[in-house]
Amino acid sequence: MTGFLQVLGVVFGVLLILVGILESFFFRDQRFYRLFLINPEDMDAVRMWTFNLGFYNMTWGVGAIVGAVMLAGPDAAAGRALLLFTSLGHVLLGIILVLSERRLWASAIAEAVLPAVIAVLLFA
């Protein structure tokens, strides 16, 4: 089970890092309009929060990867705690996302489902 959790944790972390890169560096790209719901005329106004939000997600992603890797090491309990914290945090953030903007329901599901599965497996 540890190996499976590690794979899920690394996949989760990599996804967060990729989303963070999109948020920080590609939010102006109109191909991602449906992901961010940003109008072209609002790009300058939202630059600061998208840039920062992207780095938040990249940081969370690193935390998930580090926690997943630590699961097989001598301090597995710390890895478990880190991966659980990261996972439960994103379950909560997915719920907040859909409550704050219902049009982002698909993004909220994408944000919350994998970490919810990881959290359930960590408790099992």
Residue at 112 is within a domain: yes
Cα–Cα distance for residue pair 97/29, rounded to 1 Å:
21
How would you write the pLDDT of the chain (124 residues) with one tens digit per residue?
Answer: 789 999 999 999 999 999 999 989 988 887 877 777 777 787 788 888 889 999 999 999 999 999 999 999 999 999 999 999 999 999 999 999 999 989 889 889 999 999 999 999 999 8
Residue 86 structural domain: 2-20+56-123
Give domain status of residue 37, yes or no. no
Does residue 49 lie within any of the structural domains? no
User: Is 70 within the bounds of a domain?
Assistant: yes
Q: What is the pLDDT of residue 55?
A: 96
The pTM score is 0.90
Say how many domains are in the chain.
1
